[in-house]
Structure 1
Amino acid sequence: MLRGTLPPLAAPGRAGGGPLSTPRLLRPGSPERAGLDPDEIGHLVGEVRDLTRGPRPWCAGAVVVVGRGPVIAAQEAAGWAVRYAAYDPETDAGVELPREWRVPMRTTTPFDLASLTKLFTTVAAVQQLERGTLGIDALVGAYVPEFTAAAEHGITVRQLLTHTSGLRPELPLYDCPDEAARLAALRTEAPVTAAGDYVYSDLNMLLLQRVLERLTRRPFDALIRDGITRPLGMTATGFGPRPDAAATEDQRKPWAKADRGMLRGTVHDENAWALGGVAGHAGLFSTARDLAVFCRTLLCGGSYGRARILGPDFVELMLAEPGLGFRVDQPWFMGELAGRGAAGHTGFTGTSLVLDPATDTFLVLLANTVHPRRRAADSGPRAAAGTRLARAARGR
């Protein structure tokens, strides 16, 4: 795709078609009304509840939303948004708050999305592809020439979106003394592997953020708000602080990269925090219901109700193998939903979403798995939930 050759994007909030083509809004329902096997959905919800139980649960609390078409088949909250006052390294356990001081999880509880933020960065970039103002195979250096390493090594927009730029997973920006030093580190960071090799990297989305800000001459948070969340009515989605959010980690060295104490409502990711809480790779907060709207929008080809944020061809471009920003067909967190073009992502704090165009289904599972401290990643429960949904769709 070449810059200037793609059709323009319709204004946000405009209908994507006539009345018959306007996608229906999400509405509460039941597995039966959604055309899903109620037994499988019942098991899915019960297993999510179980994840929050016991002295060392998978997560302190969780919210799950399952839908098919415009029908929300299940929506459940379990456990605690805030359960622990601190982490005790001597006992390797959380210091539990008295029960009356804990904060129960609600279906409306906001979560630190962590890397699910990357999906919004991706949509913002693909919007510019649709407008014709950004070329997918254009050189990053053409937009931000001061990023000298990216320019020297010929990094492209496509490589950023597919994590094939060769950039390493992250930089310790949180150790830089000031903003100027952080920016200098990003500008001079060169690839460490060959272009084309897949290396998942936060730096790709940080660089893409800078490209989008330069291209649109707008701050990144405004770009996400005005181009995605506002037209879709996702009023609970935005960059922090969010004091009502589920708690994350008692962030202290040596297990973390900074000493910040128990976090609630401020971004967990150390680099996003060092960058002021607004970053292309992490920083957004949202609720399960808002993310259900996001999923429904993509399953409807970029429209929701009378709002249109992308055209169907560009949604297809974004979700087709190997995926732009989105991961496609990943059994390790999608379970049996994988293998048919399912797309989604996970976040370090315990968040995930999957949408399956083949069955018009979606699954949002938000959990605070790093509360009270981070552990080795375990996506088994995510995969199990994906498998339950896949079987529920097949069984009806």
Structure 2
Amino acid sequence: MPGTDDLTSTLTVPTAAVHAVHDLLTEAASADGFSGSVHVVQGSEVLLDAGYGVASRRWGSPVTTATRFDVASVTKLFTAVAVLQQVEAGRLDLDAPITDVVDLTGTTITSAVTLRHLLTHTSGIGDDADEEAGEAYEDLWLERPCHTVTSTADFLPQFAHKPSNFAPGTGCRYCNVGYVLAGLALEAVTGTTYREHVLEHVLARAGMTSSGFFDMRDAVPDVAEGWDPVRDPDGVVTGWRSNIFCYPPIGSPDGGAHATPRDLVRFLDAVRGGDLLGPELTAAFLTPQVTHHESDGRTVRYGFGLEFVVLADGSVRSLTKDGINAGASAVLRHYPANDVTVALVSSSEDGAWGPFRRIDGLLGPATP
């Protein structure tokens, strides 16, 4: 039976793998395929913390480790923790009707929907843009000016009258607006706006000193601009287009917070360390709750915001939250087997995915 030192050495990420991650991001940035930053830790040891590419395509300013990026749906983790804090305080009930705290009179959302359903994507309510059906979020703003949607309640007309996909609790389908409703519940019981509450009770408590909700219309230092490539019919990049008309100008419960990858890792460390929730709900947050789908001997399960890859032997290979939007992509992933956490953020819709697939192979534990 191996000793502790032997076991630790087998789980240590090779230095060559860390160098390979840096090299592939450097190469991608040099080819103008990646602008963003990465933070990698094993246990308490920082293995890599670096920025690549440009934070502004107008001015060519370089990305640094202090640059804040739109992390899109990774924001849902902050919402989930804030809601669970209120469950812990007795002000919210995971299994009570959402209509007990949010007035949804005249909508298609019934009293059968609970916060548990909303946080685990099992509510069945119609999404404003159904990503699993291939709908594009930016298409919502072709007729409605995105700058008119700045409060949580402003989102309601986009989905509150849509038909359900299935009865609550009978299926699992990713749903952005479930987190909008969860944010409205949070506002109802705290008497504060979503952003104010999360800044104080989640981000600040986690030590995320660089993170926040920054309005695209404001001049805020160290905030990356979002851009996506414009391609001709042959796929050749002919220019870059800003994302300023693709979604609301400031973040909401389902997406749009800004963070450094270092702060994203701080957040997950704070959750795992029990700094944001008590023991029972910390365990629940870090535990798979419902099955989304199965493929290739792996089961993808959703928790209260997190996504888990569960192997055939029942072990968790990884727990993840990613986010994608026009001009934004981000991934936060933890590998329990080797205690490695990776956060990768980018200022384009496609920027994070190619590099992260390779990073996963370099840093994640090998699987059968």
TM-score class, shorter-chain normalisation, is 0.7 to 0.9
What amino acid sits opposite 2:25 in the alignment?
V
Q: Which amino acid aligns with 1:262?
A: S
Do structure 1's residue 342 and structure 2's residue 303 form an aligned pair?
no
Equivalent-residue separation in structure 2 for 1:378 and 1:40 (angstroms) = 18
Q: Counterparts in 2 of 1:323-342, with a 5 A limit?
A: 323-329=303-309, 340-342=316-318
Aligned twin of 2:23: 46
Q: Report the CA distance between 1:218 and its aligned residue.
A: 1.2
Quick one: which of 309, 323, 334 aligns to 2:276? 309
Whole-angstrom distance in 1 between the partners of 2:97 and 2:305: 18
Question: Are 2:225 and 1:247 aligned?
Answer: yes
1:295 aligns with 268
Distance verdict in 2 for CA 1:204–1:329, change over 3 Å: same
The number of equivalent residue pairs is 312
1:67 aligns to what?
41
Of residues 351, 358, 367, the one that matches 2:330 is: 351
CA-CA distance at 1:243 after TM superposition? 4.8
Residues in 2 aligned to 1:182 and 1:130: alpha-carbon distance in whole angstroms: 27
Contact 1:229 1:237 in 2 (8 A): yes
Q: Deviations over 1:249-275 (max 9, x none)?
A: 2699xxxxxxxx635xx7x751x33xx
Query: 2:208, 2:166 → 1: CA distance?
Result: 38
Matched letter for residue 318 of structure 2: A
Asked if the contact 1:160/1:204 (under 8 Å) is kept, the reply is yes
**Normalised TM-score (structure 1):** 0.70
CA contact (8 A) 1:353 1:363 kept: yes
Go from structure 1 to structure 2 and tell me whether the alpha carbon gap of 1:251 and 1:387 turns closer, same or farther (over 3 Å shift).
closer
Tell me whether 1:134 sits opposite 2:92 in the alignment. Answer: yes
For residue 253 of structure 2, the aligned residue among 263, 275, 280 is 280
1:269–1:283 contact (8 Å) kept in structure 2:
no
Report the CA distance between 1:343 and its aligned residue: 1.4
- Answer yes or no: is the 8 Å Cα contact 1:147–1:188 preserved in 2: no
Counterpart Cα distance in 2 of 1:205 and 1:150: 17
Query: Normalised by the size of structure 2, how large is the TM-score?
Result: 0.75
Assess if the C-alpha contact under 8 Å between 2:337 and 2:365 holds in 1: no
- Identity over aligned residues, as a percent? 25
Q: Give the counterpart of 2:347 among 343, 355, 368.
A: 368
Q: 1:357–1:81: structure 2 CA closer, same or farther, 3 Å change rule?
A: same
Please give the residue correspondences for 1:1-396 in structure 2 after superposition, counting only pairs within 5 Å.
35-54=12-31, 57=33, 59=34, 61-82=35-56, 84-85=57-58, 101-149=59-107, 151-152=109-110, 154-171=112-129, 174=141, 175-176=143-144, 182-195=155-168, 196-241=170-215, 242-249=220-227, 262-263=242-243, 270=247, 272-273=248-249, 277-300=250-273, 302=274, 308-321=275-288, 322-329=302-309, 340-348=316-324, 349-370=328-349, 379-391=353-365
State the SS of the aligned residue for 1:239.
coil
Verify the 8 A CA contact 2:124 2:165 in the aligned structure 1. yes
Structure 1 pair 390–354 and aligned structure 2 pair: CA distance change class (3 A): same
Give RMSD over aligned pairs. 3.2
